Amino acid sequence: MPDLYLRSICGALVLLSISCAAFWAVGKSGGVPVAVIAHRGLSGLAPEHTWEAYDRAIEIGADYIEQDLHLSADGVLVILHDDSLERTARGPESNCSGPAREKTLDELRSCDFGSWFGAAFHGQKIITLEELLAKYGRTTRYYIETKHPDQMLGMEEKLVAELGRFGFLDESQPGLPASVVIQSFSRDSLEKMNALAPALPRVQLVDRGGLAGKLESGLREIASYAIGVGPNHRDVDSAFVAAAHRHGLLVHAWTVNDPTEMERLIELGVDGLFTDRADLLIALKAAY
């Protein structure tokens, strides 16, 4: 990627009071400067949001591991993608089916979150955000999504409290707080995070076709409260990338598992990719 282009992106980030050197923590996986965001961990090869998936992603050198947050019925931040438990939970029906937000942490812990992926992963338990941060600490970079925050009031306050407790809001520490990125489909949630912890980088996720017909105005709005945009990879073309960069926004596209599509997006100049196969993206980057 040309030095002039990198300088322009860094300049835009500086205007947003984000250190480019701190946020651009992508050298770990080598190759072109595209952040490898391990979507739910190495979830193409292990059950999503489990220790197995996260350990594997970290071992191969992914730049970020991604978490989807829910609140349990007793107010604990747990890492889970779906609103409902049916797809990934196995165990007592009373505890392991229906909306996760209606279950206590103890009820969720009675469920097996690995067997649905394969018998070899039997016994994987749900992970709390506290457990994740305690295990990996500041040696790992986190990409955290607030899921349906309008249905789980107080999520942002609890998230900020946990990050603060583990030192991720201490700006005196090298690389902090840029070792945590907050993403959401909810603008309200991102603006709330901005009020609670303005130093945390924020990325606005966009549904498929979400900016159709309003690319410039939509990106201009996003740039007022976020440092990046997370579009569906099918919506990304040269015009999208150019417009986002004009507005000082990073482009982190989701969710890309095909190497040919990865290469297309790298050539377009995206800044990061969410992928279930971080191993394939790391290998592709190394080949450049």
pLDDT band (50, 70, 90) for residue 32? confident
Q: List the single range of 54-58, 142-146, 150-154 with lowest mean pLDDT.
A: 150-154
- Do 194 and 225 meet the contact criterion of CB atoms below 8 Å apart? yes
pLDDT average, residue stretch 147-176: 88
Q: What is the pLDDT of residue 288?
A: 84
pLDDT band (50, 70, 90) for residue 178? low
Q: How many other C-beta atoms can be found within 10 angstroms of the C-beta atom of residue 51?
A: 17
Active-site residue among 39, 70, 233, 252?
39
pLDDT band (50, 70, 90) for residue 181? very high
pLDDT band (50, 70, 90) for residue 28? low
Closest Cα to residue 133, out of 67, 88, 184, 192?
Answer: 67
Question: Could you report the per-residue pLDDT of 36-81, keeping only the tens digit for each?
Answer: 999 999 999 999 999 999 999 999 999 999 999 999 999 999 999 9
Task: Give the predicted TM-score (pTM) of the model.
Answer: 0.90
pLDDT band (50, 70, 90) for residue 175? low
Active-site residue among 49, 81, 233, 245?
81
pLDDT average, residue stretch 84-101: 98
pLDDT band (50, 70, 90) for residue 2? very low
3-state secondary structure of 217: helix
Distance CA 84, CA 87 (A): 7
Top pLDDT among 151 and 81 is at 81
49 carries an active-site annotation: no
pLDDT average, residue stretch 262-274: 97
- Do 203 and 181 meet the contact criterion of CB atoms below 8 Å apart? yes
pLDDT average, residue stretch 221-237: 98
pLDDT band (50, 70, 90) for residue 174? low
The yes-or-no verdict on residue 12 having pLDDT over 60 is no
**What fold characterizes domain 3-82+126-286?**
TIM Barrel (3.20.20)
Q: What is the pLDDT of residue 65?
A: 98
- Do 137 and 31 meet the contact criterion of CB atoms below 8 Å apart? no
Distance CA 229, CA 198 (A): 17
Q: Which amino acid is it at 90?
A: R
3-state secondary structure of 135: helix
Q: What is the pLDDT of residue 10?
A: 45
Q: How many other C-beta atoms can be found within 10 angstroms of the C-beta atom of residue 84?
A: 14
81 carries an active-site annotation: yes
The yes-or-no verdict on residue 1 having pLDDT over 60 is no
| CA angle (74 as vertex; 69, 78 as ends), nearest 5 | 20
Q: What is the pLDDT of residue 110?
A: 98
The yes-or-no verdict on residue 16 having pLDDT over 60 is no
